Amino acid sequence: METYKENEYFRDLEAKNEQLTLEKRDLQTKNEDLRMNMTKLENLTEHLTAEKKFFENQTKEMTVNMTILQMQTEQLRINRDELNRMKAAIFKYSTFPVDFFCPDGVCQKCPKDWIQFQESCYFFNHFISPWKTWDQSRQLCQSNNSDLVVINSQEEQVLEQPRELRIFRTYNPRCNLERELDSSQ
């Protein structure tokens, strides 16, 4: 009977051994599957990290482009406002004196040979003719689409200028003679 018990014991051990071998193979297969999944996840993580970096770079580039576009938009606003000012100035005339304000086909804030100071334009008349009366000076100004006025601002009075001259001032582009300086000043 002992042999019978021993045989039974060995069969039981063999069955357990076979069961453990099957479980071992199953665990090895699962382990291999897990390693493959881990490799796939590592590759996916690497890919996602690369995509994240790409999109971060795209975001930076778009931010730079947006800043550039905002600056260009602001410049376009400035240009539009300038064109609107020019348009308003042009519409003040029934016939716009193009040669006067747009020499060589390029319009200026001030007519050719005039000097801009703030929003005004000044003309320094260097005529050698004798000193003119107020009425004569006014007539000269009006022939240049200008008129005489008195300069009240010290800043406007200190513009570089010769001693004998007549100064015209404009407000885009209507002109006003600000002041006549005589040689005694």
Ordered per-residue pLDDT tens for the chain, 185 residues: 678 888 899 999 999 999 999 999 999 999 999 999 999 999 999 999 999 999 999 999 999 999 999 999 999 999 999 888 888 877 777 777 777 777 777 777 777 777 777 777 776 666 656 677 778 878 877 877 777 766 777 776 656 554 334 444 433 333 333 333 333 33
Cβ-based neighbour number of residue 142 at 10 Å: 13
Q: Report the pLDDT value the prediction gives residue 80, as an integer from 0 to 100.
A: 95
User: How many Cα neighbours within 13 Å face the side chain of 104?
Assistant: 2
Q: Which of 181, 155, 185 is nearest to 168 (CA)?
A: 181
Q: Report the pLDDT value the prediction gives residue 162, as an integer from 0 to 100.
A: 45
The CA distances from residue 39 to 33, 45, 50, 52, 84, in Å, are 10, 10, 16, 20, 66
**Interatomic CA distance for residues 63 and 161, integer angstroms:** 49
Please indicate, yes or no, whether the overall pTM of this predicted structure exceeds 0.95: no
Q: Report the pLDDT value the prediction gives residue 146, as an integer from 0 to 100.
A: 73
Q: Report the pLDDT value the prediction gives residue 18, as an integer from 0 to 100.
A: 96
165 bridge partner residues: 181
Classify each residue of 1-17 as buried b or exposed e, where b means 16 or more C-beta atoms within 10 Å of its C-beta: eeeeeeeeeeeeeeeee
Q: Rounded to 5 degrees, what are φ and ψ at 184?
A: -80, -15
Q: Report the pLDDT value the prediction gives residue 99, as an integer from 0 to 100.
A: 73
Q: Report the pLDDT value the prediction gives residue 159, as an integer from 0 to 100.
A: 61
